[in-house]
Chain A
Amino acid sequence: MGVKSVLASLVGLLQILIGVSAIIAAYLIYYNPSYFEVRTLLGLRGEYVAFSFLILGVVGFFSIISGILVIHEWAFAREG
């Protein structure tokens, strides 16, 4: 495994991690559980909840897909 493959794996994994975190954040913003009131922490007003949910969800899913593509292309592609 070359330096580029290691870097790609690392970046891909980090991007997947960011994606998952964004989706979890979207869920927490929507649900706003009593043990972790994200809306209060971020000072997020009620009318922005749906918008934040959409943005974080889209960016989260996109980030996961992008991370998978990077790993697939650079880390797992067969030597040819």
Chain B
Amino acid sequence: MSRIEIKSGIGLPYSVILALNGAFGIEFFVLLEHSTFLAGPAVVLSLFLCGVITMISLFSYCELGASISEVGGEYTFAKVAFGGFTSFLTGWMRWISSIATIALSAAGFAHFFAYFFPANATLVTILLVVIFTFISVRGTKEIDIITVMTFILVFTLLVIMGLPKVLETGGLQNFMSLRTFMPKGIPGVLASIMYSFSMFVGARAVVAGSPQMMNPKKDLPKAILYSIAIITVLYCSVAFIVVGLTPLSQNLTQPLLTYVAENVMGPFGGVLMTVAGLSAALMSLTTTMMVQRSIIRGLSRDGYLPSVIGSSESRVGRYLSVGVGSIIAILLFITGLIVFIGYISGFASLMVFALVNLSLIKLRKKKPRLDRPFKAPLYPYTPIVGAVLSILLILFIERSALLLGLEFIIIAIIIYHLKMVGYHRLRLAVGGVNLGISGITALIAYMFMEGEISLPITEIFGENIPNLIIAVSLIFFISGILNIISRKRREA
């Protein structure tokens, strides 16, 4: 998550606030529970390593952000370094990450809203996303510094008041042996790192603000360093309290952090954490809507998407730039697969991080004389380590989410080639694939009729299954022909 609107001439303290403002999102509130399930008490270690990996990659962000001051963030970095498909893929993945964050924010809001009003939480949340889609088109006010301070205060309070309870209840025992500390071993910790990754990535928000900093060369790396350090310490401390006070096998009916806050501070703590969760969800919604709007407009500006979507003058374009993503986010939210959405968010964020690190390496070679107010330390090791770790972590994603991520890449390839190979060539290709699918489905229908394939469903639907497959085959066949024969050529 990141903020786009920034004050001009900002100093170090506000730069740190800006980074924290981006990082304190709903992700921590929503993802911590499953992250704890994956790693057990070692979630504390996972979060610490997440912070370290994020910091390594953010050095690349710092260098690129300080030397390329154009709007567009990661998409622009990749565009300057690589151009072509790589830049499109970076923008595409950033957009998907934004959609997943909107869905997570909605889910988080519903989860916390249900604490006060258990009925109709889903409906209220969908309405909320729709309202924020409209608000983001009209523009939003800057979120106050107080919000960041409130988050720090709430988490600090939880840690200070929770620590004696952890010691009293013997929660420390879980950390004493390797078996209880890492119940699922190293793979569990790695899966947890991958899953928790999107909790930290919001700190990159500060990079977008680098052109407005008074002294970006000094302030940008410091702001990154301080904010990641603060977030890592806070998140690890809160996770320590959570693991210390929550039996891992317990099935909770309320948000994990609310449960722990109630346990530590009584009913007041529950209310406090719920309000913090609701605020985080609203913050995430506001900023992510703006991020996705910016990305879509950038992609549209460069001709990858229809120009009407990126037009700020067209009212339809303004609504389309956020509306499409919001609809997908609502559909994702309705599925209720929060863990799955978390994986998608992590996958897309890690892909973007890998691509940004590779952009840095490429740009150092391509434009060695580019003015670089800040240089990533220990080059080339930091971007290489950042890229390799990001790609390695993707391998620990849940398999279905990985496959969906690969499908997103396939769609990106199709959309990109729609622009590059030309419309008519693409239609020829689509037509050819349609005929192929038609042939395969016809073969499947034949095998059904011959009894080569048999499913339990066949007994229920009888002979209708092969007929249905033949109909699908026929539709694909006609569609293939229609795609191959050009209307214009025939009319000419």
Contacts and interface: CB of A to CB of B under 8 A. Distances in A.
Interface of A: 7-8, 11-12, 14-15, 18, 27, 30-31, 40-43, 49-50, 53-54, 57-59, 61-63, 65-67, 69-70, 73-74, 77, 80
A73 B456 contact: no
B482 interface: yes
A14 B430 contact: no
B479 A67 contact: yes
Contacts of A30: 340, 400
A11 B472 CA distance: 10
A50 B478 CA distance: 30
Given A73-B427, A80-B488, A57 B483 contact: no
B441 to A, nearest CB: 9
B335 A61 contact: no
A65 B423 CA distance: 13
The B interface, classified by DSSP as helix, strand, loop or mixed, is helix
B463 interface: no
Contact of B434 (A41, A54, A61, A66): A66
A50 B400 contact: yes
10 contacts: A15-B475, A31-B335, A41-B456, A41-B460, A43-B457, A53-B400, A58-B410, A62-B430, A66-B433, A66-B476
The A interface, classified by DSSP as helix, strand, loop or mixed, is helix
B437 A73 contact: no
A29 to B, nearest CB: 10
Given A7-B478, A42-B455, A50-B400, A70 B483 contact: yes
B305 to A, nearest CB: 14
Nearest to A29: B400
B430 A42 contact: no
Q: Give the size range of B's interface with the partner.
A: 20 to 34
Interface of B: 335, 337, 340, 399-400, 403-404, 406-407, 410-411, 414, 426-427, 430, 433-434, 437, 455-457, 460, 472, 475-476, 478-479, 482-483, 486-488, 491
Contacts of B472: 18
A66 B487 contact: no
Given A31-B337, A80-B488, A70 B456 contact: no
Most buried by B among A12, A15, A70: A70
Given A31-B335, A41-B457, A69-B427, A8 B411 contact: no
A60 to B, nearest CB: 9
Contact of B335 (A27, A49, A50, A54): A27
Given A41-B456, A73-B487, A57 B478 contact: no
B408 to A, nearest CB: 10
B400 A43 contact: no
Most buried by B among A18, A58, A61, A66: A66
B410 A11 contact: no
B430 A53 contact: no
B430 A74 contact: no
Contact of B491 (A40, A43, A53, A80): A80
Contact of B482 (A53, A57, A70): A70
B168 to A, nearest CB: 41
B124 to A, nearest CB: 23
Contacts of B476: 15, 63, 66
B32 to A, nearest CB: 23
Contacts of B491: 80
Given A41-B460, A49-B400, A59-B437, 13 more contacts: A12-B479, A15-B479, A31-B335, A41-B457, A53-B400, A53-B404, A54-B403, A57-B403, A61-B411, A65-B430, A69-B427, A70-B482, A73-B487
A7 B475 CA distance: 11
A30 B487 CA distance: 40
A40 B340 CA distance: 22
Contacts of A66: 430, 433-434, 476, 479, 483
Contact of A11 (B335, B460, B478): B478
A19 B434 CA distance: 12
A63 to B, nearest CB: 8
A35 to B, nearest CB: 13
Nearest to A15: B479
Contacts of B406: 54
Q: Which 9 A-B pairs have the closest CB atoms?
A: A54-B403, A43-B456, A50-B399, A11-B478, A70-B482, A57-B407, A14-B475, A66-B430, A15-B479
A8 B486 CA distance: 12
Nearest to B456: A43
Contacts of A58: 407, 410
A80 B404 CA distance: 41
A64 B414 CA distance: 12
A49 B411 CA distance: 21
A2 to B, nearest CB: 11
A65 B413 CA distance: 13
A31 B475 CA distance: 28
